[in-house]
Amino acid sequence: MALREVTLEVQKNEFCSVLGHSGCGKTTLLNMIAGFESCTEGKIFCADAQVLRPGADRSMVFQDYALFPWLTVRDNISFGPRLRGAVEASDPWVAHLIDLVGLTRFASHFPHQLSGGMRQRVSIARALAVNPTVLLMDEPFAALDAQNRAMMQQEMIRILNEETKTVVLVTHSIEEAINLSDVIIVMTRRPGRVKETIRVPRPRKMSEHSQEYQALKDQIRELISNEQDLSDVI
Amino acid sequence: MTKFFLFARRFILLFSLVLGWEFASRAILDKTQATLLPPPSGVFRGAVELAVSGELWTHLFDSLRREAVAFIYASVAIPLGVFMGVFRWVNEQLDAIVEIFRPIPPIAWIPLSILWFGVGNAQNQFIIFLGIFFPILLNTVDAVRGVEPNLVRAARCLGASSFAVIVKVILRAAMPQIVTGIRIGLGVGWMALVAAELVGASSGLGFLINDARTVLRTDYILVGMLTIGFIGLTLDRIVRVVAQRTMPWSRALGG
């Protein structure tokens, strides 16, 4: 059993991070919201509609990008809209998204010609292209090196300033959660429950070196380390 | 200039052997033995004869046409393979049947096929079909099963229906390996073609080399053999080049 009892509510346009050690069930939770897995008990609702299967109202950004290698950047991003009908790949909405993630010069490139950070940006633009009710992100920057990761977090803030979205992000990085979120859900270890729900003061405006940032970081670290199975360490 | 020399250097041994063969055939072997193994110059002359008389091209085109027709029929293996790969129950039922027939070499079907189809095009194409079909089927099933699950998930959460997932994602993702199956299938089919034509045809390269045997034209036999090898190689190369050009993103194809 991956999850025990989870009750969660995310407000519109809120950025919610789900934080916890590996195996705490946070990815399972995200998969359930996405509709890839079903819960044995309980229900999930997205904008008053029950979640029963995957759909474009809950699009996902994957850790390994999952870009379609046979499609260009532009065609990857326009994949969703084009499914629904006569949308040209040159659609202004698609062009706007390509520009938003800073890849206008690479619109005709293929994924294998791009770096990891660029691929993730395509992935984000692709997920945004279908105008989802909520954007799901499964450890999206875990495959990037530290510098790129920090940069992508800033990019994420900038993108969301322009295209406000409700976001649920799964991560095991405390800093990432603090840098991006309005609210942080700390999970216990397997079988996961919500241990604590923390509201971030002055979301995305705190300086990394400030007292409040460090205090928050310590608080969360305390919560998580209590959850660490000592047999993992020994 | 150096590039050319580096390239030409690879052919030194081959060239020496050919020269040695020419010399041996003319100076050492007696008349009877020379009939059994004509010198390179003899083979070359035979090739020119066959080319000029048009025979070589007729047989070549007949063989190629059989391969092409059999391939068109055998390409049913692609949708079948997709079905088997996507739907577990289809694979479960068909697997036993496939595993019974697959190990039987196409050549082993020759006697039965002659009884069924008589001697001629249909019989040839049946054998070739069997050769092409199974590699394509197996590679397709494998390719479909091996499609990265997150690609399917990504498509679903972008709003793709099951049909769109199969056609727009699974098929595209599986294509490199399907093409590998095609390449292998064409190779096996070509081998099966030669065997089928040896016993059951009145035209084609396989027929040519057997027919030449009956009149002791060993030079024709060698021309036929070399042509068979060359065409087989060319078919393989063409598929590979086309695949690499149209699917440059695939690492499986060496992209």
The answer, yes or no, to whether residue A99 has pLDDT greater than 60, is yes
Residue B247 contacts A where some CB pair is shorter than 8 Å = yes
Q: Is residue B141 a part of any domain in this protein?
A: yes
Q: Is A215 touching B (CB cutoff 8 A)?
A: no
Cα Rg for chain A, rounded, in angstroms? Answer: 18
Last residue of some domain: A116, A131, A146? Answer: A131
Q: Which of B150, B169, B248 sits opposite A64 (nearest CB)?
A: B150
Q: What ipTM was reported for this prediction? A: 0.90
User: Which residues on B lie below 8 Å from A67 (Cβ)?
Assistant: 154
CA distance B178 to B187: 14
In a domain, A62, yes or no: no
- The answer to whether residue B7 is domain-embedded is no
One domain, residues A125 and A145: no
Question: Is there a domain that residue B95 lies in?
Answer: yes
Domain that holds residue A88: 69-131
Average pLDDT over residues A111-130: 95
Region B49-60 average pLDDT: 94
Task: Single out the residue of A148, A156, A150 nearest to residue A125, CA to CA.
Answer: A156
Q: What angle do CA B90, B93, B96 make, to 5 degrees?
A: 130
A151 shares a domain with A100: no
Q: Please check whether residues A42 and A153 belong to one and the same domain.
A: yes
E strands, B34-125, where?
Answer: none
In this prediction, residue B254 has a pLDDT band, given cuts at 50, 70 and 90, of low
Domain count, chain A: 2
User: Do A80 and A27 fall into the same domain?
Assistant: no
Whether the CB of A54 is below 8 Å from some CB of chain B: the reply is yes
Structural domains in chain B (count): 1
pLDDT of res. A151: 92
Q: What is the pLDDT of residues B115-137, one digit of tens each?
A: 999 888 999 999 999 999 999 99
Distance of alpha carbon B69 from alpha carbon B120, whole angstroms = 14
The mean pLDDT of chain A is: 89
Which domain-ending residue is among A80, A112, A131? Answer: A131
Tell me what the mean pLDDT of segment A147-159 comes to: 92
Same domain, A150 and A44: yes
Q: Which of A101, A131, A161 is the last residue of a domain?
A: A131
Side-chain-side CA neighbours of residue A164 (13 Å):
5
Within A69-145, residue ranges assigned H as helices are: 73-77, 79-83, 92-100, 116-129
Does residue B79 register a pLDDT over 70?
yes
Cβ pair A4, A192 in contact under 8 A: yes
Confidence tier at A225 by pLDDT (50, 70, 90): confident
The answer to whether A83 contacts chain B (CB < 8 Å) is yes
Query: Which DSSP category does A18 fall into?
Result: E
The reply to whether A43 falls in a domain is yes
Task: Check if B143 contacts A (Cβ < 8 Å).
Answer: no
As given in the structure block, the two tokens for residue A69 are 């290698």
Do the beta carbons of residue B169 and residue A76 sit within 8 Å? no
Mutate to test the interface with B, among A76, A83, A87 (most CBs of B within 10 A): A83
Instruction: Specify if B33 maps to a domain.
Output: no
Choose among B154, B164, B249: nearest Cβ to A70.
B249
- B254 in A contact zone (CB under 8 Å): no
A62 touches chain B (CB under 8 A): yes
Question: Least CB-CB distance to A60: which of B154, B172, B249?
Answer: B154
Neighbours of B226 (CB within 10 A): 12
Task: Tell me which H or E stretch contains B141.
Answer: helix B121-145
A33 with A93, same domain? no
Across the interface, which of B148, B157, B251 has its CB nearest the CB of A56?
Answer: B157
Identify the closest residue of chain B to A80 by CA–CA distance: B158
Residue A159 pLDDT more than 90? Answer: yes
Whether B179 contacts chain A with CB within 8 A: no
| B22, part of any domain | no
Q: Is residue B15 part of a domain?
A: no
Residues 6 or more apart whose CB falls under 8 angstroms from that of A25 comprise: A2, A3, A6, A187, A190, A191, A192
Q: Using 50, 70 and 90 to split pLDDT, how confident is the model at A233? A: very low
- Give me the domain span that covers residue B129: 50-246
Q: Is residue B194 part of a domain?
A: yes
Confirm if B198 and B210 have CB atoms less than 8 A apart.
yes
Domain annotation covers residue B21 = no
Tens digit of each residue's pLDDT (9 = 90 or more) over A164-194: 899 999 998 999 999 999 999 998 887 888 8
Query: What is the domain-level CATH number for residue B85?
Result: 1.10.3720.10
Instruction: Tell me: do A117 and A198 sit in the same domain.
Output: no
